[in-house]
Amino acid sequence: MAPPTRIGLAGLAVMGQNLALNIAEKGFPISVYNRTTSKVDETVERAKQEGDLPVYGFHDPESFIQSIQKPRVVIMLVKAGAPVDQTIKTLSAYMDKGDCIIDGGNEWYENTERREKEMPGLGLLYLGMGVSGGEEGARNGPSLMPGGSFEAYKYIEDILLKVAAQVPDSGPCVTYIGKGGSGNFVKMVHNGIEYGDMQLIAEAYDVLKSVGKLSNEELHSVFSEWNKGELLSFLIEITADIFGIKDDKADGYLVDKVLDKTGMKGTGKWTVQQAADLSVAAPTIAASLDSRFLSGLKEERVEAAKVFKSGGFGDILTDQVVDKAKLIDDVRQALYASKICSYAQGMNLIRAKSIEKGWDLKLGELARIWKGGCIIRAIFLDRIKKAYDRNPELANLLVDPEFAKEIIDRQSAWRRVVCLAINSGISTPGMSTSLAYFDTYRRERVPANLVQAQRDYFGAHTYERVDMDGSFHTEWFKIAKKLQD
């Protein structure tokens, strides 16, 4: 019989296969299992081809579990929800006290907390681990966000440290996130931030293309250039690539043939729902979610465009001559400033949840493990880490002295881009709402006094005063009536 392996992995879709190969490549013999046995054979075959990696396949759950050294650790990479419960049921039947199950999927954090509570009954430990980086990341180094049992984390820490993406000067992109479902929660917000980044980039593209009339060749070189500076990131890099790719089925560029409808799987929606539940303003992330909803109404938009065109309302209202070089520079600055607002919202959401749940999450550490491996990896995250290093209690990224200075330097360009877009009839919901977020947050006095007065007028909700302590109510209606008489 072969010696026991160090770890097991169940669920061999591409993510699972790639993560198993990555673990084996780092020198940890791994057992793999999938109910569909052809997936098992496929994985073992790939392991052979990619360098005789120590991957051992099993066609039944019992021999799979028994092949792993004790205490056993099994990572599941199956679809969130019911398949996770089913897989736990199958595997746990053969597991012993002290063994550990790790869910590596995009699970709703409360499901992880429910399962974690059920585990002691089985004598097992549980981790909910966010894995970001897509298929490529899983194979070559993802960003890992494990939360739950610290004991379980310690037992596999050596594996995770090697398997995660490695970033020079800041280390492997993994850390113990915290208790309960915190790993899944942090991964969820990571995805919400990813929605924001993608939307802001799409708006930059729209303004440059629709108002600035840049060609795909020009966009390719603009984004390639941006990727050498403060915007350097995975998403900017792939965006530059996309503009360079020709259609393989017809003339022209492929990006122009892609239908303007965005899909989604739910983590962005959960982020916005959580923000609302916790009373945290996350307008940039919400705007990116709304933009996906509106993008889905393709047929309605086609009809609406007809209605407004026949009413004399063209697609683009601009007849202004734009200075291309200046526009490109302005858009770059608007994108960067908006991005600061978006990350500020995501970080504040994580902190609010951490306080509610007592997770004690370290925001600077999160920024560090997002520097490599994951979809939002960017040089920008280093500045966020430094901001929280300077002040772990920072109320908002916007008021960190360095970010504040960056925003001040960019605000004129940011306002020019938003105004130009509005005047041209191009919607830039992410950039506009980010600017509104900034303009609201930085103002000492906002018009909420009037809203509160209205609430007291019709609902006797009372109000506080700027000049005295206490709670006040005024008979607004009676006084107004008297004035009219």
Ligand X SMILES: *[C@@H]1O[C@H](CO)[C@@H](O)[C@H](O)[C@H]1NC(C)=O
Residues in the annotated binding site: 11-16, 34-36, 78-80, 106, 132-134, 190-191, 195, 265, 292, 455, 461
Q: For residues 388-417, which are near ligand X according to CB under 6 A?
A: none
Interaction of residue 39 with ligand X, rule CB under 6 A: yes
Catalytic residue among 25, 107, 113, 194: 194
Residue among 249, 195, 247 nearest 216 (CA)? 247
Give the nearest distance from C-beta 102 to ligand X in angstroms: 13
CA-CA-CA-CA torsion sign (301, 306, 309, 310): negative
Of 29-37, 304-312, 421-429, 473-481, the window that binds ligand X (rule: CB under 6 A) is: 29-37
Residue among 210, 219, 264 nearest 242 (CA)? 219
Interaction of residue 106 with ligand X, rule CB under 6 A: no
With CB under 6 A as the contact rule, the residue among 4, 26, 35, 295 that binds ligand X is: 35
Give the nearest distance from C-beta 91 to ligand X in angstroms: 8
Q: For the chain, how are helix, strand and coil distributed in percent, rounded to 5?
A: 60, 10, 30
Residue among 156, 250, 151, 238 nearest 201 (CA)? 238
Counting residues that bind ligand X (by CB under 6 A) gives 11
With CB under 6 A as the contact rule, the residue among 34, 112, 291, 338 that binds ligand X is: 34
CA dist., res. 288 & res. 470, Å (int): 40
Give the nearest distance from C-beta 87 to ligand X in angstroms: 5
- The two structure tokens encoding residue 208: 């440059």
Give the nearest distance from C-beta 116 to ligand X in angstroms: 20
- The two structure tokens encoding residue 355: 């306080």
- The two structure tokens encoding residue 190: 């990571």
With CB under 6 A as the contact rule, the residue among 27, 81, 83, 229 that binds ligand X is: 83
- The two structure tokens encoding residue 237: 């890099």
Q: Which residues are annotated as a binding site for NADP(+)?
A: 11-16, 34-36, 78-80, 106
Told to judge if 62 belongs to the known catalytic residues of this protein, a careful annotator would answer: no
Interaction of residue 13 with ligand X, rule CB under 6 A: yes
Q: Which residue is nearest to ligand X (CB)?
A: 35
Give the nearest distance from C-beta 16 to ligand X in angstroms: 8
Interaction of residue 386 with ligand X, rule CB under 6 A: no
Told to judge if 42 belongs to the known catalytic residues of this protein, a careful annotator would answer: no
With CB under 6 A as the contact rule, the residue among 6, 7, 11, 396 that binds ligand X is: 11
Position 135, amino acid: E
Give the nearest distance from C-beta 10 to ligand X in angstroms: 4
Interaction of residue 186 with ligand X, rule CB under 6 A: no
According to DSSP H, which parts of 123-266 are helical? 134-140, 150-163, 182-206, 216-226, 234-243
Q: For residues 61-80, which are near ligand X according to CB under 6 A?
A: 78
Q: Which residues are annotated as a binding site for substrate?
A: 106, 132-134, 190-191, 195, 265, 292, 455, 461
Nearer to ligand X, 62 or 277 (CB): 62
Catalytic residue among 187, 269, 353, 385: 187
With CB under 6 A as the contact rule, the residue among 7, 9, 10, 21 that binds ligand X is: 10
CA dist., res. 228 & res. 202, Å (int): 19
Contact 126, 156 (CB under 8 A): no
CA dist., res. 128 & res. 103, Å (int): 5
Contact 112, 126 (CB under 8 A): yes
Nearer to ligand X, 32 or 366 (CB): 32
Q: In 3-state terms, what secondary structure has residue 132?
A: strand
Residue among 156, 161, 210, 202 nearest 7 (CA)? 156
Contacts of 24 (CB under 8 A, 6+ apart): 30, 47, 53, 54, 55
Give the nearest distance from C-beta 67 to ligand X in angstroms: 15
Interaction of residue 87 with ligand X, rule CB under 6 A: yes
Q: SS3 for 335-355, per residue? A: HHHHHHHHHHHHHHHHHHHHH
Catalytic positions: 187, 194
- Residues binding ligand X (CB under 6 A): 10-13, 34-36, 39, 78, 83, 87
